[in-house]
Structure 1
Amino acid sequence: MTTQTHDTPTDFAIRAQIDAFFATIGQGFNAYMVRASRVDRIKALEALSDAELAHKGIARDRIVHHVFRDLMAV
């Protein structure tokens, strides 16, 4: 015995709302993970000595600029 289901326009609208909800959560989570990883990178660089930073070609007052250089033209 087979059962057929027919989606109504309302079913599609509800699915679209659910998809949008989870997509929004996913975008927020992705943004959080990117931010968290950059903060960790900043902390790691700040823990280095001035000599270690100089070896990497980074001035201490430019650590944040270095970490976010792909997002800003600074």
Structure 2
Amino acid sequence: MASTSTFDKPRLSLRGLLAAPFVAFGNIAILIARASPRVRAIERLNGISDAELARRGLTRDGEIRRILGAAAAI
């Protein structure tokens, strides 16, 4: 039994080539932001329910202000 497979090369376009550096820069910026301790703390906070925060005597808004500090005022 013979089988054939076709392999389509990705098509290169001028638009794709021009956008590639900007896409790469955006991906790097996202990686840097996600590595931030503040972002990791916000992600942990997002995993906690409002009911659990209330049980601890905390509010989501208050915790965001605590995590971000002066940056929260911007």
TM-score by length of 1: 0.38
TM-score by length of 2: 0.38
